[in-house]
Homo-oligomer: A and B are copies of this chain.
Amino acid sequence: MKIAKTITELKTCLAEIGKDKTIGFVPTMGYLHDGHLSLINEARSQNDVTVVSIFVNPTQFAPGEDLDAYPRDFDRDSRLAEAAGTDLLFFPDPIEIYPAGASTFVAVEGAITRKLCGQSRPTHFKGVTTVVNILFNLILPTRAYLGQKDAQQVAVIKKMVRDLHLPVQIIVCPIVRDVDGLALSSRNVFLNLEERRQALILSQSLTAAKALYRAGEGRVESLKDQIVSHISTMPLAIIDYVDILDFETLADIETITAPALAAVAVRFGNTRLIDNIILD
């Protein structure tokens, strides 16, 4: 596995790969877990070359969020990425991605970035789309692999790719869960034992909602109420949002007539977790 820490090194590696190879790209913020590794596996199976980036992107964190605290372990990540079959690992400093005076942003406007995480993190997706756009411009991947865990990020990036006609195909891979159902997240490391135990309510409440939906309940308010009640049984859970929206556009819906996304964000102590399930 090659490691590029600068754009110059990245370009040298990409030039060696050449323009005729298909490139599968997995953008990450590092602290890799099995969810990331499932993306790398999928990229390997569909492309000649697999490129992984590790970049904790400062522009998607607002002041006061956990940019500095975000977990980092490059040596471990590097070993995991190599073992998973990564060909090229891009691990740039922020100054490489955002040179001094950089002030260009890519933003998806409208409800799709204002709902869900966009409510409590109003500048978050502007940072996400900007950095993903930059990484796509640098790497020019054939396909990029994203996890359904970050459902809104997936919807927003798909829309950016469509609206800006970016020459890349977005492949979305299913959420990877621990054996007890907790969705894998780099932030899970911050949970103490009791928080982690109570956090299982996220996947449990979503699975229960899906069962209700399958049993014939299509009214969004009723399903949301069930999820809120379910999560509220856990004393440490502080709900940020519970919502059910159109799967593609994230538009509000009253009853489910097309694929919908049930998504939750809940804080346990200082740790904010998200999870979701597709109702189709």
Contacts and interface: CB of A to CB of B under 8 A. Distances in A.
Task: Output the residue of A101, A106, A130 with the most chain B CB within 10 A.
Answer: A106
Interface stretch (A28-36, A163-171, A258-266): A163-171
Contact of A19 (B20, B103, B109): B20
B164 A104 contact: yes
A107 B104 contact: yes
A243 to B, nearest CB: 20
Majority SS of interface residues in chain A?
mixed
A106 B104 contact: yes
Contacts of A164: 104, 106, 130, 133-134, 137
A138 interface: yes
A177 interface: no
Interface string A35-66: 00000000000000000000000000000000
A162 interface: yes
A95 interface: no
Interface of A: 7, 19-20, 97-99, 101-110, 112, 129-130, 133-134, 137-138, 140, 159-160, 162-167, 249
